[in-house]
Copies of this chain bind each other. A is one copy, B any other.
């Protein structure tokens, strides 16, 4: 039974489709006669403890649909990681506002937050339904086949590398592109979907699921360069050495950490610059370029997968249905069936909260520097309709004249 006041919030990094989930919750909840109000909290749990609520019951359906198609978190987000005390404050605010149901759209940190809030409510004998709605470009939530937000970010990365590969073919050299991903290499691996012709880059892919060794990296780059006359490399920002030390910390003077204790990896070009420097100096190659793809990966206006949009919308809608018809709390999870469809389940919060999925071995080539066809088959349907394609001229060579004369006269 869903009734009274319901609250929705968004946590963690924005995605291209996180507002689809928000619209899914709001539009569906507003249909239910006993739902009195749908509140949105500004900037996640931070907005709850500050009582910064907006009344989404008063928003037009038309504008909600426009917002659904807009990337980034329309309610604002937060990196706060609530402890017990913080969660008790959240709970006090919810009780004061007579909130009956809490929907939190976010990744694994957010799922852990909602788990703690649910425990606090239970301990206080307050009847609060807590539903977690998945979202993360990292694709690292367990149980889920994949996570809303990832397919659109993967589409961006695949499209960027498809273009980069053409650019690098045109003006050959070494190119290193650094992609988001702390523990899971899914998004970096998506660069492989930019390949079409057999010699297309990325020729090498480095992910956090494998230890990074600079000497091996240089050997790999040299071999690819010797083979193709150029080399495009995709690298996860989270690559680390055998001891687990992020490669980026080997360079950075001071390391910034967030409330979750995570080292700041994005918003700096340091890793790409470190890797291009080592290639320039030790392989003595010219035209070595590095880019850090940065925030456009998750927020670029106009690069979105329609499959991702649809599923992000549905997990929001399903969350309301589960809150209405099911007794227990949980996380809405996505499960693949066939080729390609999905179904949704309500999974206990404890099974999701704070856990991290990484790429399974079957998706990674034995060399550790590329992906398998199993990964391509996994990712392709997620990218959606209308993926642009790259074409080449066919080469009908014209016989040389001068160089033949020169050879003949020697």
Contacts and interface: CB of A to CB of B under 8 A. Distances in A.
Given A93-B402, A289-B295, A393-B59, A14 B167 contact: yes
Contacts of A93: 402
A340 interface: no
A402 B166 CA distance: 58
Contacts of A272: 268-269
Nearest to A258: B287
B403 A51 contact: yes
Contacts of A66: 389, 391
14 contacts: A63-B394, A66-B389, A67-B392, A69-B391, A92-B402, A93-B402, A97-B401, A159-B300, A159-B302, A163-B295, A163-B299, A292-B294, A301-B390, A302-B387
A148 interface: no
Contacts of A375: none
A370 to B, nearest CB: 20
Contacts of A293: 291, 294, 296
A302 B301 contact: no
A134 B69 CA distance: 36
Interface of A: 10, 13-14, 37, 39-40, 43, 50-51, 53-56, 58-59, 63-64, 66-67, 69-79, 92-93, 96-97, 159-160, 162-164, 166-167, 169-171, 175, 177, 194, 266-270, 272-273, 276, 288-296, 298-303, 387-398, 400-403, 405
A69 B163 CA distance: 12
B59 A396 contact: yes
Nearest to A42: B395
Contacts of A69: 388, 391
A171 B393 contact: no
B55 A396 contact: yes
A276 B14 CA distance: 21
Given A292-B291, A393-B59, A400-B51, A77 B159 contact: no
A398 B163 contact: no
A50 B59 CA distance: 66
A58 B54 CA distance: 64
B291 A163 contact: no
Nearest to A274: B269
Nearest to A26: B393
Contacts of A390: 70-71, 301
A96 B403 CA distance: 10
